Structure 1
Amino acid sequence: MKHAFLATSAFATLLAVLATGASASGTHNDAIGKPGVAAKATRTIEVDMTDGMRFTPADISVKQGETVRFVVRNSGKLKHELVLGTAQELKSHYAAMMKNPEMEHAEPNMVTLAPGKTGEVVWQFTKAGKVDFGCLQPGHYDAGMKGAVNVAQAGR
């Protein structure tokens, strides 16, 4: 029984790692950037999560190379999370969450918050383009709890 639990835990961890675009060493898919250093954050953006299955703001603009501290607040009565990733990574991770709703995970590109709690994600956006984010708690992403960070090319 103990071995089955360990195997299940290892599999759930592997799913979480694969779904977030991270390797076992913790390196993230550089299409969305990389974990930032809090001391190098050039600004703070406050993001509110609600039980109306929305992020405020849902559209965020940053510059390539910028390190941003996202202060994320769950103002609802349900557990919510903010996960940065490509649309494909978010959909894959969401599918894993639907199959394993109690799956616990913690990566630098995400914060999971109980009702009324506040947390943060510090992220450096290294490439121009769009970085998606969403709440991958079962049912939330499908209900529209998603947004985008638009990363402007450096020098523009």
Structure 2
Amino acid sequence: MKRKIAIWRTVAACALFAFTGTAVAHGNESHASNAPVAKEQKDWGIAGEAARSTRTITLRMTDDMRFTPDRFSVKKGETVTLRVENKGRIMHEVVLGTPATLQQHADMMLKFPGMEHSEPYMTHVAPDKAEDLVWNFNRAGQFEFACLIAGHFQAGMRGIFTVTE
């Protein structure tokens, strides 16, 4: 009987941690790095250079688990600065990708909510802070962006971006 109680306590603690303590687990500091960006072609584009950015799109994140705007459009080949503002009181992030890659990453974040990660197609933004993500949208199609902090994606914190020919 004691073993069953211990198992249930562990399950309850993990569930509580995964869905209410994620901002603390992920930290409240941005993960920006001064290291050179490794450019790797993805289905949704490749890391861009700030000097080649033709415009800025501001994405705002709030604790109601929404982005404003929740969709945007760019032209194929355009390098854009995504100015990501966290207007909430907990950590949020933006990750660009396909529905499949975002789902896979979100599943991993549920299993390991405190995992450290940084790629050129994502930015982690502390409360009341802003970060820039510079991306070259060199592949046409419809893609998504999302906050993959455990529980945020599941609450609907996602959007769509379209890259037109």
Both proteins in one fold, TM over 0.5: yes
Q: C-alpha distance in 1, partners of 2:134/2:41?
A: 16
Q: CA deviation at 1:131?
A: 2.0
Per the alignment, residue 84 of structure 2 pairs with 72
Per the alignment, residue 129 of structure 1 pairs with 141
Q: CA deviation at 1:28?
A: 3.3
Per the alignment, residue 60 of structure 1 pairs with 72
* Mapping for residues 6-25 of structure 1, pairs under 5 Å: none
Conservation of the 8 A alpha-carbon contact between 2:39 and 2:47: no
SS of corresponding position for 2:106 = helix
Higher alpha-carbon Rg: 2
Q: What are the Cα deviations for residues 14-63 of structure 1, in whole angstroms up to 9, with x where unaligned?
A: xxxxxxxxxxxx55353110000100001000110000100001110100
Per the alignment, residue 87 of structure 1 pairs with 99
In structure 2, the gaps of 5 or more residues are 1-37
| Amino acid corresponding to residue 73 of structure 1 in structure 2 | E
Conservation of the 8 A alpha-carbon contact between 1:30 and 1:126: no
RMSD: 1.4
Residue 48, structure 1, aligned to residue 68, structure 2: no
SS of corresponding position for 1:96 = helix
Q: C-alpha distance in 2, partners of 1:96/1:34?
A: 23
SS of corresponding position for 2:102 = helix
Q: C-alpha distance in 2, partners of 1:122/1:27?
A: 12
Q: 1:97 aligns with which of 98, 103, 109?
A: 109
Identity of matched residues, %:
48
Runs of 4+ in structure 1 off by over 2 angstroms are 26-30
